[in-house]
Amino acid sequence: MRQINHFVGGQTTAESARQGDVLNPATGKVQAQVSLASKAEVDACIDNAREAQRAWGAMNPQRRIRVINKWLQLIHENQDELARLITLEHGKTYDDALGDIARGTDVLEFSLGAPHQLKGEYSTNVGSGIDTYSLRQPLGVVAGITPFNFPAMIPLWKAGPALAAGNAFVLKPSERDPSVPVRLAELFLEAGGPAGVFNVINGDKEAVDAILDSPVIKAVGFVGSTAIAQYIFERCAATGKRAQCFGGAKNHVLVMPDANIDAAADAIVGAAYGSAGERCMALSVAVPVGEETAERLKAAIVERIGNLTVGHGLEKGVDYGPLVAQSALDRVNRLIEEGVQAGADIVVDGRGIDLSDKEFEGESLGGGFFIGPTLFDKVTPEMSIYLEEIFGPVLVMVRANSFEEAIRLPNEHQYGNGVAIFTENGGAAREFAAHVEVGMVGINVPIPVPVAYHTFGGWKASAFGDLNQHGPDSFRFYTKTKTVTSRWPDGDESTADFTMPVMK
Ligand code: NAD
């Protein structure tokens, strides 16, 4: 069986005492074993990273980004292998996996601007012979703790700016799909990155807690579920670490009566069911405004659902693949049943989809974690299918009678990651963007993930911490500011002064 270990100090390590299974979600079979790091293994990795960081942090930033640039090229050259690995461990389609890589390399491209991002500020003559300047310095050793659903993109969102800013980076990816993160670290070394600057520690809570408790780690960038995001944020605060922790979501889409219903339905179906709904920016709540809009939208979505193909992510023509694990499938099935019991209309029920007569490359898909697209109508805000993040191919419709009633839904929801509106009315769109209590807003755009040079982050229970991911915030997060006040008087003016220095 294939064995996946850690990547520390530029080398693959020996196996850890504890091991986890890596499944192929399309077959349900174990395809590899992954080492789960102990505290001692994490501490050794961090010590090694601390040594490696000194030279990397002192290096001219333009030299550092030459390494990042080469790394970017190697990722592009190896994207076929990386995308196949993502599909086999995560389950998403090959084309979707290419998108996972591309949105990650976008942030590496942005990180090539590090010399500009790291430029400080300078004020001359703030006093007699006195100048003040500020500079951004790397923090030292920083960490990223990342989720299963974007095994290339999110590690690169963290690693790109952190490394370009001169830090050493310890990545603890999801134990469900660890192969691509390890390959990314190998490619960084191949690109000329010094050994020990980019390390991958595989593992579970034990590895995470060792990172959180290490006094050497200065910042933690986390992405995952809200409960763990909050735990990590609080534990980092207790040990004086900088933290940015991004959590779960429940993304609404308002459909106004004047919207182009066909365009809206196309966008919503892709954003709700793509990647089996396992995206933090998936649309999971449709809010049609007015009964007529609701009926037209429902009919258009049902028609499109009928054309969706669920199957192995490497098969051509498949729209989405399996969920990541049996536990994810059980959870989605449970929530669907709760919706039915609560009295919502189940318009399309994707439960119990049977792919046992299908196989891919000789392997049966019968044991895979598949679920068909599911649509609920007449959902009300107290139902668990509305309140909780389902993280599966389930779209719920909550009907609203007016724009005011519709916007109140995302505004009062605990999550505030993404939101969208479909309308032909610029005034309504503008009003929506100004008043919706959500971090990322789409206007006739279903998945408004900002481009790499803007920042990504939700509001409310979708994010803990002050600074967003990628864009200029990422350099602020992974650097600290130093402000120097220097005095070079013309003559010998030295006197002892016992009062607070002020501008005279
Ligand atoms: P998760 O919270 O289960 O795991 C995320 C990371 O935390 C993994 O590395 C995991 O090993 C670790 N972890 C899990 N349990 C832990 C524990 N008890 N103590 C310490 N560490 C622990 O999340 P997931 O299932 O991998 O990912 C899906 C979630 O991520 C969804 O809620 C989704 O919305 C969210 N997500 C959010 C964003 C965003 O930017 N807001 C982006 C992608 C995914």
- DSSP 3-state of 242: strand
Residue 493 pLDDT exceeds 80: no
Select from 223, 236, 449 the residue to mutate for testing ligand 1; criterion: most ligand atoms less than 8 Å from CB: 223
- Residues sharing a CB contact under 8 Å with residue 457, sequence separation 6 or more, in sequence order: 244, 246, 439, 440, 463, 467, 468, 469, 473
pLDDT (average), residues 166-187: 98
- Report which of 260, 241, 205 is spatially closest to residue 477, judged by C-alpha positions: 241
CB 259 within 8 A of CB 422: yes
Q: Is 245 assigned a catalytic role?
A: no
Q: What percent of the chain has pLDDT over 70?
A: 100
pLDDT (average), residues 350-373: 96
Helix (H) or strand (E) holding 48: helix 39-58
Domain locations along the chain: 2-247+462-484, 251-443
| Atom nearest to 227 CA in ligand 1 | 2
Residue 353 pLDDT exceeds 90: yes
Q: What is the whole-number distance in angstroms between the Cα of residue 407 and the centre of ligand 1?
A: 28
Task: Give 366-398 pLDDT, tens digit per residue.
Answer: 999 999 999 999 999 999 999 999 999 999 999
d(CA 5, CA 213): 22
Whose Cα sits closest to atom 26 in ligand 1? Answer: 147
- 244 CB under 6 A from ligand 1? no
d(CA 102, CA 112): 15
Task: Give 454-486 pLDDT, tens digit per residue.
Answer: 999 999 999 999 999 999 999 999 999 999 999
Q: What is the pLDDT at residue 491?
A: 78
- CA-based Rg of the chain, rounded to a whole angstrom? 25
Task: Give 197-229 pLDDT, tens digit per residue.
Answer: 999 999 999 999 999 999 999 999 999 999 999
Task: Give 271-286 pLDDT, tens digit per residue.
Answer: 999 999 999 999 999 9
**pTM of the complete model:** 0.97
Q: Residues 412, 439, 431, CA angle at the centre, nearest 5°?
A: 70
- 457 CB under 6 A from ligand 1? no
| Integer CA distances (angstroms), 357 to 354, 375, 435, in order | 8, 25, 50
Select from 42, 208, 388 the residue to mutate for testing ligand 1; criterion: most ligand atoms less than 8 Å from CB: 208
Residue 496 binned pLDDT confidence (cut-offs 50, 70, 90): confident
Q: What is the pLDDT at residue 209?
A: 98
- 204 CB under 6 A from ligand 1? yes
Select from 18, 23, 89, 149 the residue to mutate for testing ligand 1; criterion: most ligand atoms less than 8 Å from CB: 149
Whose Cα sits closest to atom 23 in ligand 1? Answer: 224
- 284 CB under 6 A from ligand 1? no
Q: The domain 251-443 is classified under which CATH number: 3.40.50.2000, 3.40.309.10, 3.30.420.40, 3.40.50.1360? A: 3.40.309.10
H-helix segments, 78-218: 79-90, 94-111, 114-117, 153-164, 179-190, 205-213
| Atom nearest to 248 CA in ligand 1 | 34
Please classify residue 454 by burial: count the beta carbons closer than 10 Å to its beta carbon, then call 0-12 exposed, 13-18 middle and 19+ buried: middle
In CATH terms, the superfamily for domain 2-247+462-484 is: Aldehyde Dehydrogenase; Chain A, domain 1 (3.40.605.10)
